[in-house]
Chain A
Amino acid sequence: MSTNNEATDFQGLVCPAPLLPQDHIEMAHGSGGRLMQGLIRQRFLPAFENSALSAGNDGALVAVTQCGRLVVSTDAHVVSPLFFPGGDIGRLAVCGTVNDVAMMGARPLFLTASFIIEEGLPIETLQMVLASMSAASLEAGVQIVAGDTKVVQKGCADGLFISTTGIGALLVNPDEIGGANARPGDAVLLSGSIGDHGIAVLAARGDLGFEAGVASDVAPLNSLVERTLETSEQVHVMRDPTRGGLATTLNEIAAQSNVGIVIREEAIPVRPAVQAACEMLGFDPLYIANEGKAVVIVAAEDAPAILETMRAHPLGGGAVLIGEVVAEPPGRVLMQTRIGTHRVVDSLSGELLPRIC
């Protein structure tokens, strides 16, 4: 750092060499040349530090010792804005895939990540996203072992898209856990309040004209899942109710298992701020996205023990019994309303649209 009193130091670049872009991503960052190598070396490798990635080969060589079966899942992540209360696209990209692998009854081990970056994205923004991915992968206990970056012209992407693929080791017998395994008499458990992520992102866009005061619940659920699996051998279904919300997830399970599911409106936890935002916009929290919640369907006798386990976990403090699996009507989700009647809860149809008045 120079001060006014010091003579100018010419020891750095003195000839009129082309300026190396420092602040923003340019097309050259995706060209495969030196600029891209620098970006990877300076930004990506330190954030995701591990030997498989730093070997610098075309693919990552990883060792899987513990079991014979692997779970693979992939997810593309797009969100506007890139940063929102409670998270950002980086955390979302790690947690989304970690959770998909975990819900299969697997321990997520490795992730790969592809970045599609819009020309002009501030490098500082990218750096913040990478730091967030690094923190989330540490939290989840997974390594990001391979990656790719592409840069597209301004206007061809919305800042940054991240696609992640996850590989995990199966912890359970694959016949035991799956969307088709819900049985009449099973208990339906939910790890906490619904709608936080969707409302947090919507409010962060700033076009609602109000602040919701809600943080996204985006979090890696794999340790909660493992504690749950250690508690009971009678877990039949695990799902994370992301896009389409709890209603859509329960409908998928009811259809796959050919059973009915009855939930109680009063038992479903919704934060007052989420409820208020939904009332204003004409949304139903049942259809709002979550990124850190699990639905667990388990033999009724094991439900109390699992609830205790989930509530003792930092990500399952609000775990509750929300309903049960029934034989009839197959493929349908019913809700007992607050006033004691029953109604059908359908899947989300199309895009959620705010009402007029």
Chain B
Amino acid sequence: MKYLDEFRDEELAQGILAQIRRVLSRPWVLMEICGGQTHAIKRYGIDQLLPPEIELVHGPGCPVCVTPLEQIDKALAIASRPDVTFTSYGDMLRVPGSGRNLFSVRATGGDVRVVYSPLDAVRIAQTQPGRQVVFFAIGFETTAPANAMAVARAKELGLDNFTVLVSHVRVPPAMRAILESPHNRVQGFLAAGHVCAVMGYWEYPAIAKQYDVPIVVTGFEPVDILRGILHAVRLLESGRADVENAYSRTVTPEGNRPAQALIEKVFMQTDRNWRGIGRIPMSGWSLRPAYADFDAELRFDVAAIAPQESPLCIAGQILQGHRKPLDCPAFGSECRPESPLGATMVSSEGACSAYYQYAGSAAAAGE
């Protein structure tokens, strides 16, 4: 398939690996930000190909994983209401809240529907004026433009039965939080290509400079990821804390300006809790006051919900790159995709799910 097969080519991959081996002189720890990259790394066994000096740690870029428990419990409370049609991206349905998930709400009579786009949720609201339609607006900078567009569209249409439960997060504050942690091991970043396709990478030079860490905008296919690693190793070996773009077929420095303008119009920056990590200042988006009528947290009385996480789950340390899924005593035993303790075992971008799916539960659990 064009634009895919050439980035999954063994010969090209081997060529880049040879270059990595040539420039490498000492061990380095790199973090791939995005869960999509983590899955590609495990799915294609890229970590098996790399020289042992390069360690990849897995970043927080899994939107499902970092959505805080209280937002999920709010979603469950709203979705359980008889007057509500609750719509969500499919990935969120299996994520455990306190004791249940959206699937179990649906099984016990809740009207929970998977949509492929937030605009589908707006359409449902138009066709069902008698019902309250709520969309679970989660994700990073990648989903924010479409979610902003849905809210703007609902306002244009004057819909009074459409709201969004917002749990948007931003990558740059998370990178800063990781670098400021006393346990930080990350020496270089593979930045999330799709986030940069929307936002560009103009925010990154300041981070690279302040924390003395190279950042390479990286794609998602095996050849893209290896290329990102090559750029990062070159920068590290030559002592340069620069920002480079190894995904230029998709990403420009300034990003998608109209998408950024749409986000700016509907959302404003806010402090946000990250599941397993904690509160990061100005790390998320919430609706601007002009769009308060579309805020599900205001429409439904869910503000008081403040639950506790499972003490067994180490997802927070995994999302910060301090530990890996196999370090977790619950991995593959108490915690499996069918009965997850944390969201990292659920999402198609979660690190624990990648280890479970592609490395094999039993083998990975040390059998």
List residues of chain A with CB under 8 Å of any chain B CB: 207-209, 272, 275-276, 279, 281-282, 329, 332, 337-344, 346, 349-351, 353-357
7 more A-B contacts (CB under 8 A) besides A337-B44, A340-B13, A353-B93? A207-B116, A276-B1, A338-B222, A339-B9, A341-B44, A350-B337, A357-B143
Inter-subunit contact A343/B359 (CB<8 Å) = yes
Inter-subunit contact B114/A343 (CB<8 Å) = no
A208 and B281 alpha carbons, distance in the complex (Å): 36
Give the chain B neighbours of A351 by CB distance below 8 A: 93-94, 103
A330 and B204 alpha carbons, distance in the complex (Å): 48
Inter-subunit contact B43/A343 (CB<8 Å) = yes
Q: For the complex formed, measure the closest distance between the CB of A204 and the CB atoms of chain B, giving whole angstroms.
A: 15
Inter-subunit contact A341/B89 (CB<8 Å) = no
A22 and B192 alpha carbons, distance in the complex (Å): 60
Inter-subunit contact B139/A343 (CB<8 Å) = no
Inter-subunit contact A344/B360 (CB<8 Å) = yes
Mark each residue of chain B from 35 to 68: 1 if its CB lies under 8 Å from any CB of chain A, else 0: 0100000111110110000000000000110000
Contact A275 B45, CB 8 Å, known A344-B358, A349-B337, A355-B91:
no
Q: Chain B, interface size: which category?
A: 35 or more
Of the candidates B10, B14, B45, B336, the one having the most CB atoms from chain A within 10 angstroms of its own CB is B45
Inter-subunit contact A356/B337 (CB<8 Å) = no
Inter-subunit contact B1/A343 (CB<8 Å) = no
Give the chain B neighbours of A337 by CB distance below 8 A: 43-45, 222
Contact A338 B1, CB 8 Å, known A208-B116, A350-B337:
no
List residues of chain B with CB under 8 Å of any chain A CB: 1, 4, 8-10, 13-14, 36, 42-46, 48-49, 63-64, 89-94, 103, 114-117, 120, 138-140, 142-143, 194, 222, 336-338, 347-349, 356-361, 363
Inter-subunit contact A357/B10 (CB<8 Å) = no
Contact among A276, A350, A356 with B64 in the assembled complex (CB-CB below 8 Å):
A356
Inter-subunit contact B140/A209 (CB<8 Å) = no
Majority-rule SS of A interface residues? loop
Contact A355 B349, CB 8 Å, known A275-B1, A332-B360, A346-B357:
yes
Contact among A209, A282, A338, A355 with B44 in the assembled complex (CB-CB below 8 Å):
A338
Inter-subunit contact B64/A343 (CB<8 Å) = no
Cβ-closest chain B residue relative to A355: B348
Contact A356 B63, CB 8 Å, known A279-B4, A337-B44:
yes
A342 and B13 alpha carbons, distance in the complex (Å): 15
Cβ-closest chain B residue relative to A357: B142
Inter-subunit contact A357/B140 (CB<8 Å) = yes
Give the chain A neighbours of B142 by CB distance below 8 A: 356-357
Q: For the complex formed, measure the closest distance between the CB of B149 and the CB atoms of chain A, giving whole angstroms.
A: 14
Inter-subunit contact A209/B363 (CB<8 Å) = no
Contact A349 B338, CB 8 Å, known A339-B222, A344-B360, A356-B64:
yes
Cβ-closest chain B residue relative to A346: B357
Contact A346 B44, CB 8 Å, known A209-B116, A339-B49:
no
A320 and B265 alpha carbons, distance in the complex (Å): 54
Inter-subunit contact B63/A342 (CB<8 Å) = no
Contact among B48, B63, B222, B361 with A346 in the assembled complex (CB-CB below 8 Å):
B361
